[in-house]
Amino acid sequence: METMSTVTGLKSSGDVLFLMLGAVMVFAMHAGFAFLEVGSVRKKNQVNAFVKILTDWSVSTIVYFVIGFPIAYGISFLKPAEELLGKTQGYDLVHYFFLLCFAACIPAIISGGIAERAKFWPQVFAGAVFAGLSYPLFESLIWGKNSSLLQGIFKGIGGAEFHDYAGSVVVHSIGGWIALPAVLVLGPRMGRYIQGKSHPLPISNIPFLALGSWILAVGWFGFNVMSAGNLEKISGLVAVNSLMAMVGGVLAALVAGKNDPGFVHNGALAGLIAVCAGSDIMHPLAAFVVGCVASVIFVYGFHYEQEVLKIDDVLGVWPLHGVIGSWGGIAAGIFGQKALGGMGGVTFVSQLAGSLSAIVFALVSGFVVYGILGKTVGIRLSQEQEYAGADLSIHSIGAYPEDHVR
């Protein structure tokens, strides 16, 4: 009797610890987003990158608490603390915390695309709409309380539900495909393309870029492994598949990107983005291949975007999170098959359909929100502000104040 209640207690506290650790790991990833952007922009926009990411995180926390999580899962937190704690030691609260970390990725992803020329508050507002409304709406359709509808359609078309274990599509592709219209509406930075010719602007700091990539890669194991939701559902396969896709991404980027440190460190992320969807159903060697392909997509996609299409997406978040996120969704439909050593239960058609639906949803969301903001309050710094840099223009201080004394 006593044993049983101890076991129930252990299970319940184990679940809270499990999700809390996952939440903290993914929360830490936001420091990674910040450093990745800080290293990839010019020095005059570093402070802005930090403040943007932290502000977006904070605003997302509130809107997802009050609006987003209730939309996606039908659970409201507007009741006394004692009821929030309930008999599960506050499991719903840590579940919210964990999933908030996903929702807050949307503005963090976009931030890297629109860097160095966006106005501060319109950007924060857009992030709030995405994290509090658009993302939770799509989330509810795939993972949440309204999933029967859309999943029913996918099942009808492809013979299986759309499978996205940890968000290649729901999180990364949504973020990356929203960023594309944002970047298009905003237009390129001053001096990026002159008379149709490309003039890449130098990045400032590879150690910070590398730090960002490392923080993201480490936290990603929380992103993927804790997507189990409960401790009892933890899977060592998810951990090792994440690892394998990451190293596939690193090695393919090293070769395709000719030893370039930016490609190598973003390559790790490319692999991790691609593996989220099928990390629970692929064989580790398949995950390695998925990661390799992801990095090849990134290296060539980045070049195509920036040099051929002439889209000034500073951190390349559309190819990185958008296109590779879609690739991850589709890849789960290929390498999740039993014939390729996977666990089965997925189909190529359903995965393709789910991935395409996210692209449509994101493009519409992005064009509507950024379109309206662009035509009303305006989303771009003035030429003088952009020239001076977002740090001095918005924050009245540079990243290295001592260096500018005397």
Tell me: does residue 18 bind a second copy (CB under 8 A).
yes
Local structure of residue 314 (DSSP, 8 states): T
Q: How far is the CB of 87 from a second copy (least distance, A)?
A: 12
How many residues contact a second copy, by CB under 8 A? 117
Residues facing residue 193 across a β-bridge:
198
Name the minimum Å distance from CB 177 to a second copy. Answer: 27
Q: Structure tokens of 175?
A: 């973020």
Q: Is 216 helix (H, G, I), strand (E, B) or coil?
A: helix
Question: Residues with Cβ < 8 Å from 16, sequence gap 6 or more?
Answer: 88, 89, 90, 91, 94
Between 98 and 193, CB nearer to a second copy? 98
Task: Restricting to residues 86-105, name those near a second copy by CB under 8 A.
Answer: 88-94, 96-97, 100
Tell me if 208 contacts a second copy by CB under 8 A.
Answer: yes
Non-local CB neighbours of 204 within 8 Å, separated by 6+ positions? 38, 39, 40, 41, 42, 43, 46
Cβ atoms of 347 and 333 within 8 Å: the answer is: yes
Alpha-carbon distances of 300 from 317, 323, 324, 355, rounded to whole Å: 13, 12, 12, 21
Specify the DSSP element, H or E, that contains 193: strand 193-194
| Cβ at position 47, least distance to a second copy in Å | 5
Q: Considering the rule CB under 8 A, would residue 361 count as an interface residue with a second copy? A: no
Say how far residue 315 (Cα) sits from the centre of its chain: 13
Cβ distance 274 to 286 under 8 Å?
Answer: no
- Pick one of 194, 259, 376, 384: the residue that binds a second copy (CB under 8 A): 259
Interface with a second copy, residue 251, by CB under 8 A:
yes
119 binds a second copy (CB under 8 A): no
Q: Which stretch binds a second copy (CB under 8 A): 76-84, 141-149, 309-317, 322-330?
A: 76-84
Nearer to a second copy, 2 or 384 (CB): 2
Is 396 near a second copy (CB under 8 A)? yes
Q: Does 20 bind a second copy (CB under 8 A)?
A: yes
Cα-only R_g, the chain = 21
Any contact of residue 187 with a second copy (CB under 8 A)?
A: no
CB of 1 to a second copy, least distance (A): 10
Rounded distance between C-alpha atoms, residue 307 and residue 303, angstroms: 6
Name which of residues 276 to 305 contact a second copy (CB under 8 A): 281-284, 288
Residues 320-339 that bind a second copy (CB under 8 A): 338
Q: Three-state SS for 197?
A: strand
Of these, 153, 190, 204, 367, which contacts a second copy (CB under 8 A)?
A: 204
The Cα–Cα gap between 131 and 106 comes to 7
Distance in angstroms (rounded) separating the CA atoms of residues 247 and 292: 8
Q: Which residues between 26 and 45 bind a second copy (CB under 8 A)? A: 27-28, 31, 34-35, 38, 42-43
Tell which residue, 323, 354, 326, 330, has the closest CA to residue 162: 354
- By CB under 8 A, tell whether 367 contacts a second copy: no
Residue of the chain from 221, 223, 298, 318 that contacts a second copy (CB under 8 A): 221
Cβ 128 to a second copy, closest distance in Å? 11
CB 81 within 8 A of CB 148: no
Does residue 388 interact with a second copy by CB under 8 A?
no
207/378 with CB nearer a second copy? 207
Q: Which of 260, 304, 364, 385 binds a second copy (CB under 8 A)?
A: 260
125 binds a second copy (CB under 8 A): no
Does residue 256 belong to the site contacting a second copy (CB under 8 A)?
Answer: no
Tell me phi and psi for residue 214, to 5 degrees. -60, -45
Q: Which of 58, 76, 148, 383 binds a second copy (CB under 8 A)?
A: 58
